[in-house]
Amino acid sequence: MQNINFIYEELSYKLIGALYDVYNNLGPGLKEKTYKDALVMAFKKIQISFQREWCVNISYSGIIIGKRFFDFFIDEKIVLEIKIGNYYAPQHMKQTNDYLRIAKLKLAILAYFGSDRVRIKRLVNLY
């Protein structure tokens, strides 16, 4: 059996644990903002360093031509995007992959708070 090494394994597991904790406590059917607010509390409780609504500038020839806002930037390593729904939407995966590329980061976690559980997708940028 092949040994697979995950990027930021320990931090990822801690982060995913916080996502499940929030969902298990709040349940389904809430607004995206409510889950994000709860995640702020969960991250503080387990001492995960984060920035909410983290802004990255897009530049061309040294001139800022746009901005992107990530839901969370975890420990200056992982982009975390929160969505509501039961299925991974292609546009959300593309959006999150674009965030990784723009910020030149290695890992994003896309989390969907659905009607029956939280779904988690790890997206890796191999730049």
Query: pLDDT tens-digit profile of 86-116?
Result: 888 888 888 888 888 888 899 999 999 999 9
Tens-place pLDDT, residues 22-60: 999 999 999 999 999 999 999 999 999 999 998 888 888
Which residue ranges form the domains of the chain, and what is each CATH number? Answer: 29-124 (3.90.320.10)
CA distance 25 to 64: 41
Task: Provide the 3-class DSSP secondary structure of residue 77.
Answer: coil
- Confidence band of 3 (pLDDT split at 50, 70, 90): very low
CA distance 16 to 1: 25
**Residue-level pLDDT at 98:** 86
**Residue-level pLDDT at 95:** 85
CA distance 74 to 47: 11
Percent of the chain as helix, strand, coil, to the nearest 5: 35, 35, 30
